[in-house]
Structure formats: structure tokens, C-alpha cells
Amino acid sequence: MSKANEVISCLEMCQREGVNLQKGMNYQLGRGYSVILMSGRDNAPYRDRFEDNGSTLIYEGHDVQRRKGITDPKSIDQPEFNPTGSLTENGKFHRAAQDYKNRLRRPEKVRVNEKIRPGIWSYNGVFELVDSWQEFDGQRRVFKFKLIAVEESTSDNGSTSQIVRRRIIPTSVKLEVWKRDGGKCVICGATDELHYDHIIPYSKGGTSLTAESIQLLCARHNLEKRDRIE
């Protein structure tokens, strides 16, 4: 079972989802949830961002695929439909969000993985897709999707307002901590099975908003620390 703030490789991520994740948006993989890949880095191809102190993700839709006659996808409106008339991934997520808003279905559950650096990802946990829209970015129309971070154990009740929201560690903090800790557990120096750990748990007054509050721990020391606190 994946845990939020766990650091994984691209291979591990694909193995856990049971599919080769070549696309950033993957609607309903067959296990009752969808999967998206995001990045908040400065050089990221899309403008993904966190709001509400990290509990809300605003995810940007994806561009038309580069093909003959399309040399600059960034100059073209993000598509809702394929040339054949079928929905793109943008269209599928957009329809799910609008159906939820119209009370036609429960919110789509979405597992979110965030790129930290080439080959290194952070699992951000389960979100619920609650809204979508299109907006002009100065050059073309793009899709925006609003997702709420929720506790995985309580994300099946269909009511976002009644479940406990989580707060995600901001991308800038993750990048700073990774650089500061050298991509290793601060206790034993392990480089595998890493987690971003709150030095002071959020429930005890800790914060996700500063690098001074976060450290890298391996799975063993993360478990030992959690058991000791509890």
C-alpha cells in the first residue's frame, strides 16, 4: 500500500499502478480510481499548483499531441475531443468533474504522483476531483481541474465536506529538503524506501510549509519515529 509523502522511482510507480504511465493523465485505470502525474517545478510543462495551505491541487490539463501539422502544441487550445470524436483525457476528467457538480455521481478518486527530479517521484496520496473549467492563459484556452486532498481511509463515503482533508508538502519545500538531506535518510543514510517526514507531526502543531519542519527518513526509521510518538 502506497503512503502519502513516500518517495518512489518511476519504475516503482508504474509497478504499483500496474501500467506503464506514459501519460500524465490516466482516467480510471480499472481499480476504482484515476492517476495523474504532476510537477510544481519551475521548468514543468504545465502550471500545476497547490492552494489552501496545500489541501487543494489546481491541475492543468494536457496539450494536443504533437503530430503532422502541429509543431507547437502550446499555441493550440487544449482539446476536449480527439479527431475521431472520442473524449481526450481532458474530456474524461472534465465530464467526471461536471457530473459530480451536477450530483450525478460521486467525486472521482485520483491518485497523484509528483515529479521531484528525473526518475524520482513523491506519492501525494488520494484526491477527489470536485471541479473543472477552461480559462485563457494569454495564448490559448486550457483546462483546469480542482482536486481536494483527502485521507485515503475515508475517501469512499462520497462526501468531500465530511471527510478529513490533508495538507500536501509544497513542491518548493520537497526540493529544498531533498537537496539539503542529499536524497538520503538523515539517520542512517539509506537511499531507498524514503519518506518526507514531519519532524513535528501536523496534529501536534507541525507545519508542511517550511523545509525546517521536514526531513527525509527511510521506511524503518519513519515507522520507528511514528510508533514512538504514538
Digit-coded pLDDT (tens) for 22-48:
889 999 987 789 999 999 888 899 999
Pair 69, 88 in one domain: yes
Pair 164, 178 in one domain: no
Pair 88, 137 in one domain: yes
Cell 479527431, residue located:
83
Pair 102, 201 in one domain: no
pTM (2 decimals)? 0.88
CA dihedral 3, 62, 176, 117 (to 10 degrees): 80
Pair 131, 213 in one domain: no
Query: The domain containing residue 198 runs over which residues?
Result: 174-229
Domains: count for the chain? 2
Average pLDDT in the 169-185 region? 94
To which H or E segment does residue 177 belong? helix 171-181
Pair 64, 98 in one domain: yes
Pair 72, 138 in one domain: yes
In whole angstroms, what is the distance from residue 223 CA to residue 218 CA?
Answer: 9
In which band, very low, low, confident or very high, does the pLDDT at 77 lie, cut at 50, 70 and 90? very high
Domain boundary among 139, 168, 197: 168
Q: Is 38 helix (H, G, I), strand (E, B) or coil?
A: strand
Q: Which among 72, 67, 175 has a CA at the least distance from the CA of 121?
A: 175
Residue 48, domain member (yes or no)? yes
Each residue of 187-198: pLDDT tens digit?
999 999 999 999
- Residue 105's pLDDT is 96
